[in-house]
Amino acid sequence: MPLHLLTTTTISLLLLLSTLSTADDAAVMSKLLSALTPSPSGWDTKTPFCKWSNVNCDPSNAFVTSINLDSQSLSGTLPSELNQLSFLKSLSLQKNSLSGPLPSFSNMSTLGQIFLDSNSFSSIPPDFLLGCTHLQTISISENHNLSPWQIPLYWSESTNLQTIYASNASIFGGIPDFFDSFTNLQNLRLSYNNITGILPTSFGGSEIANLWLNNQLQGLSGGIDILSSMSQIYQVWLHANSFTGPLPDLSKCTNLFDLQLRDNQFTGVVPPSLMDLPNLVNISLANNKFQGPLPQFHNGVKVTLGGTNGFCGTNPGPCDPQVTALLAVAGAFGYPMLLAQSWQGNDCCGGWSFVTCDPQGKNVTMVSLGKQHLSGTISPAFANLTSLRNLYLNDNNLTGSVPEILTTLPQLQNFDVSNNNLAGPRPVFPPRVKFMYSGNVLLEKNQTAGGNGSGGGTLGSGSNSGSPGGNASGSGSSKESPVSAGMIAGIVIAVTVFVGVLVFVSYKCYAKRRHKGIGKVEGPEKGSKMVKANVAGGLNGHGGAPSELENKGSYDHNDIPIFEVRNAPNGNYSVETRLAGTFGYLAPEYAATGRVTTKVDVYAFGVVLMEIITGRKALDENMSDERSHLVTWFRRVLANKDNIQKAIDSTLDPDEETSESICKVAELAGHCTAREPHQRPDMGHAVNVLGPLVEQWKPSKFDEEESYCIDLHMSLPQALQRWQADEGTSRMFDDFSYNQTQSSIPSKPVGLADTFSSTDCR
Ligand SMILES: *[C@@H]1O[C@H](CO)[C@@H](O)[C@H](O)[C@H]1NC(C)=O
Ligand SMILES: *[C@@H]1O[C@H](CO)[C@@H](O)[C@H](O)[C@H]1NC(C)=O
Ligand SMILES: *[C@@H]1O[C@H](CO)[C@@H](O)[C@H](O)[C@H]1NC(C)=O
Ligand SMILES: *[C@@H]1O[C@H](CO)[C@@H](O)[C@H](O)[C@H]1NC(C)=O
Ligand SMILES: *[C@@H]1O[C@H](CO)[C@@H](O)[C@H](O)[C@H]1NC(C)=O
Ligand SMILES: *[C@@H]1O[C@H](CO)[C@@H](O)[C@H](O)[C@H]1NC(C)=O
Ligand SMILES: *[C@@H]1O[C@H](CO)[C@@H](O)[C@H](O)[C@H]1NC(C)=O
Ligand SMILES: *[C@@H]1O[C@H](CO)[C@@H](O)[C@H](O)[C@H]1NC(C)=O
Ligand SMILES: *[C@@H]1O[C@H](CO)[C@@H](O)[C@H](O)[C@H]1NC(C)=O
Ligand SMILES: *[C@@H]1O[C@H](CO)[C@@H](O)[C@H](O)[C@H]1NC(C)=O
């Protein structure tokens, strides 16, 4: 082929290609022109498109690089061929009245800016900006007529994105977790959509400075902890959503100037670090469920606080100490909404749910949060609720360890953490505390060094009931549980201890009287033991000295032991009649439930204790109205320790140490007869309270031959254990009877009471 021919062909080909491309852009531009009404000013078909107003081309004048039709009052639709403008870098069509479906701009790899906002487009194609790898700005806000669409995942391929404006754009669904794809995204505005779900984790560490997510139809939810790692953040609008949980520590967000959080469901205490943000000038917190001290911002900061929040005061300053402690408790659970709804203001005894206070309405005595789907940890701040007696945290999803400091709670009696996910060392509580921890595999296996769990003597074995796989008896849930074998055993043990003490003291008094009789005088070193024995005298020696015991049948059909005390000074006195009175007294509770519950029996036990302490019947019609109901009257008496002394059966005449013990028993009786069944302790607890009082009882001196078959070298609890070991628990009570069976228990000390006067025991 001749050279010139080749050259000519090549040139013609190049020309052809060039005219083809030009023809393409020209054709697209002419389609665009004809689609718009009115025609944009300076646009007409007679002029080359590169000469049209607000249209820029590349230097060859073959390719369009930018179109700017901002605010031209245009209507019409966009032609689908727009994406053939293969060198287009910037398209500005905002603030017009364009309508119809948006075309696809896919594969426009040079496109950097696209402004479509404030129009009336009707829909967005699935491949809207697919393959636009050089996009820096997407602006599609204020297109109120768009049919619902979701933020496409492929936007993550546009790694150069700096700005996404898509407010009021009918977006629904979640925010994709793709923000680690963008190295330079600074503005994200998605207000007034129907976006749901949580803030994506990839916000953390992003460069986003301007974040508008406010006014979602259903609302974004979850917490906003991720903000704490958005150190570039400058303006955050999250108002009018459904965010929950507490505010994070934003102290790293030193650029933050405008924080709008109003109208959400935020809970908890506003972190002090928020008030120290150096650049904050605008903040709204109104209409949430914030708690704790009213936050105080620096002068010049524009703050809105009011609405549904539950700050503890109208001025900044600390809350009541118990409120502070309970808020710390709530904080360790992540400030759940469950608690924020009522744990508001500064009076935790004024109706906070799950919190019970003393009758004076001053001090928190019970926190009952069993089965509340709580997660998080157990706050050591419980230790600041010094009047706390009962703490139920069972059947939740708590993690972490049981704070050791809770063993210092001076009044604690029941502490139930069973069925959680607690781990770590298991603290050893004083024997008075019934600590229930079963159902925490990692906790059951672990224990604080040096402790053996059941810290409290032999009788304490029932207290730290956490054996793996076993159900803690009287599981501490505030629900009533029907009578179980375990419960009956508990009552039997308690009554056994009680009666054992009675018998033993009878014996002791008898022994002492004998010694006196033969002129022996107790040495001073025996004194303390005598005092302890006298406790029993005080507790059990109703109407004066303990006297004759006589079996009257071991059980009635309710498994209530019936025995008789023959009281020397006042003549025969049947405990059975008393108990009958007690249970008549209890009739409503039995009749209402139609079943015997642990709590009813604990109540009965409390009534019996009261009868013994006061020497009065449960219901005494001979008394004045206000005194005729023993329980009502006695519970009033209990409010003042001095009163208790006066209420004690006068014939008991206890010394100081004894009255202290009587006070303990009186208090126990008070708890047992609490109005609300769930406030009553269980029998195991009663045993734990009574246990230490009898533990050291041992006669100071005795004659072997007079020991009535009991090994008096043993302490009472030891003896109890022996009996329990010898006989099955179920039969224990039968054996512990006084009808001259061959048990190892002292049977009726013949002639004891008959010759005995109340003064002998003191
Ligand atoms: C965009 O490019 C891909 C391949 O690069 C192609 O498969 C697709 O059809 C193109 N889309 C359009 C609308 O041209
Ligand atoms: C979104 O549209 C509503 C009306 O539908 C309007 O009140 C609101 O101001 C718009 N949001 C923004 C951010 O302009
Ligand atoms: C908002 O989105 C939810 C689901 O994300 C949908 O069920 C609801 O219908 C949407 N509301 C409107 C008004 O589009
Ligand atoms: C504070 O924010 C609100 C809404 O977010 C805005 O209207 C107001 O102008 C802002 N004020 C200042 C001082 O920035
Ligand atoms: C309440 O607790 C305080 C501090 O622990 C104590 O001083 C006060 O006696 C308690 N009040 C009652 C009624 O128990
Ligand atoms: C108890 O309260 C005091 C004073 O408010 C506080 O300093 C202390 O940290 C609290 N203890 C716990 C364990 O939270
Ligand atoms: C319990 O908590 C753990 C960790 O906090 C969580 O993974 C688990 O889903 C929770 N379980 C329930 C039933 O809430
Ligand atoms: C037991 O407690 C120790 C001390 O806290 C802890 O290091 C260990 O991991 C715990 N073991 C289990 C099985 O929880
Ligand atoms: C723990 O119990 C075992 C056996 O019951 C006993 O040998 C050991 O001395 C106890 N340890 C402590 C610290 O009480
Ligand atoms: C514990 O009690 C629950 C319900 O009362 C029962 O389903 C479960 O079998 C019991 N577990 C044991 C080991 O007794």
Domain boundaries, the chain: 3-244, 344-459
- Cβ atoms of 394 and 479 within 8 Å: the answer is no
* Ligand nearest to C-alpha 455: 9
CA 78 to chain centre: 56
| CA atoms of 242 and 673, how far apart (whole Å) | 45
| Residue owning the nearest CA to atom 14 of ligand 4 | 282
Cβ(358) to ligand 5 under 6 A? yes
Q: What type of residue sits at position 84?
A: Q
The pLDDT value recorded for residue 3 is 52
Give per-residue pLDDT as tens, 407-438: 999 999 999 999 999 998 889 999 999 999 99
Radius of gyration of the CA atoms of the chain, in A: 41
Question: What is the position in ligand 9's atom list of the atom closest to the CA of 450?
Answer: 13
Out of 127, 225, 559, 734, pick the active-site residue: 559
Q: What is the pLDDT of residue 490?
A: 52
Which tens digits make up the pLDDT trace of 121-132?
A: 999 999 999 999
Distance (Å, whole) CA 454 – CA 431: 7
pLDDT of 702 reads 45
Instruction: Please state, in angstroms and rounded to a whole number, the distance separating the CA atoms of residues 527 and 243.
Output: 68
Instruction: Give the pair of three-digit tokens for residue 455.
Output: 């810290």
CA 602 to chain centre: 29
Residues 346, 384: contact at Cβ < 8 Å?
A: no
Q: What angle do helix axes 716-726 and 683-695 make, rounded to 10 degrees?
A: 130
326 close to 347: Cβ distance less than 8 angstroms:
no
In this prediction, residues 322-330 reach a mean pLDDT of 97
Residue 501 and residue 495: Cα distance in Å, rounded?
10
* Beta-carbon count within 10 A of 114 CB: 25
Q: What is each CA distance from 741 to 210, 318, 575, 709, 753, in whole angstroms?
A: 88, 67, 21, 12, 20
Least Cα distance to 169 among 213, 109, 107 occurs for: 213
Which helix (H) or strand (E) segment holds residue 3: the answer is helix 3-35
Q: Which amino acid, 418?
A: S
Q: Is the peptide bond before 746 cis (omega within 30 degrees of 0)?
A: no
Q: DSSP string spanning 691-757?
A: HHHHHT---SS--GGGSTT--TTS-HHHHHHHHHHHS-HHHHHHHS-SSS-S-SS----TTTGGG--
| Residue listed under structure tokens 């080749």 | 6
Average pLDDT score over residue span 726-743:
39
Nearest Cα residue to atom 9 of ligand 10 = 471
Do the domains 3-244 and 344-459 sit in the same CATH topology, yes or no? yes
Residues 6+ apart with CB under 8 A from 52: 29, 40, 42, 43, 44
Please measure the distance between the N-terminal and C-terminal CA atoms of the chain and give it in whole angstroms: 141
Residue 576 has pLDDT above 70, yes or no: no
Query: Catalytic residue at 642?
Result: no
pLDDT in tens, 146-204: 999 999 999 999 999 999 999 999 999 999 999 999 999 999 999 999 999 999 999 99
Cα(472) to centroid(ligand 10), Å: 9
Q: Give the pLDDT band of residue 578 (cuts 50, 70, 90).
A: low
Q: Which of 598, 390, 389 is nearest to 474 (CA)?
A: 598
**Among 413-427, 534-548, 565-579, the least confident range:** 534-548
How many angstroms separate the alpha carbon of residue 357 from the centre of ligand 5?
A: 11
Q: Model-level pTM greater than 0.85?
A: no
Tell which residue, 322, 296, 328, 293, has the closest CA to residue 310. 293
Q: Which helix (H) or strand (E) holds 366?
A: strand 364-368
Helix (H, G, I), strand (E, B) or coil at 657: helix
Cα(470) to centroid(ligand 10), Å? 8
* Closest listed ligand to the CA of 365: 5
pLDDT over 60 at 22, yes or no: no
Phi and psi of 715, rounded to 5°?
-75, 165
397 Cβ inside 6 Å of ligand 7:
yes
Instruction: Tell me 152's DSSP state.
Output: -
Angle at 704 between CA 698 and CA 705, to 5 degrees: 130
CATH number of this structure's domain 344-459: 3.80.10.10
pLDDT attached to residue 345: 95
Does the beta carbon of 282 sit less than 6 angstroms from any atom of ligand 4? yes
Backbone angles phi, psi at 677, to 5 degrees: -50, -35
Is the minimum distance from the CB of 425 to ligand 8 under 6 angstroms? Answer: yes
The tokens for 628 are 């005729």
Beta-strand runs (E) in 529-679: 548-551, 563-567, 571-574
* Alpha-carbon gap, residue 286 to 122, rounded angstroms: 36
Kindly state the greatest CA–CA separation across the chain. 154
Burial label for 508, CB within 10 Å (0-12, 13-18, 19+), is: buried
Residue 600, H or E segment: helix 598-614
CA of 397 to the centre of ligand 7 (A): 6
3-state secondary structure of 321: helix
Ligand 1 lined by 107 (C-beta under 6 Å): yes
Q: How many CB atoms lie within 10 A of CB 540?
A: 23
Q: What pLDDT was estimated at residue 514? A: 55
Residue 759 clears pLDDT 50, i.e. is over it: no
Task: Please report, to the nearest 10 degrees, the dihedral formed by the alpha carbons of residues 677, 679, 681, 682 taken in order.
Answer: 40
**CATH 3.80.10.10 assigned to 3-244:** yes
Report pLDDT digits (tens) over 237-264: 999 999 999 999 999 999 999 999 999 9
Evaluate whether 356 touches 267 at the Cβ level (below 8 Å). no
* pLDDT beyond 90 at 229: yes
User: Going by DSSP bridges, is the β-strand pair 355-357/364-368 parallel, antiparallel, or unpaired?
Assistant: antiparallel
609: its two tokens: 């204790």
Q: What are the backbone angles phi and psi of residue 384, rounded to the nearest 5°?
A: -85, -5
For residue 593, name the pLDDT band (cuts at 50, 70, 90). Answer: low
Pocket of ligand 7 contains residue 375 by CB under 6 Å: yes
Give 287 Cα–ligand 4 centroid separation in angstroms: 17
The pLDDT value recorded for residue 502 is 60
Is residue 547 within 8 A of residue 757, CB to CB? The reply is no
Structure tokens at 477: 């849930």
Of all ligands present, the nearest one to the C-alpha of 485 is: 10
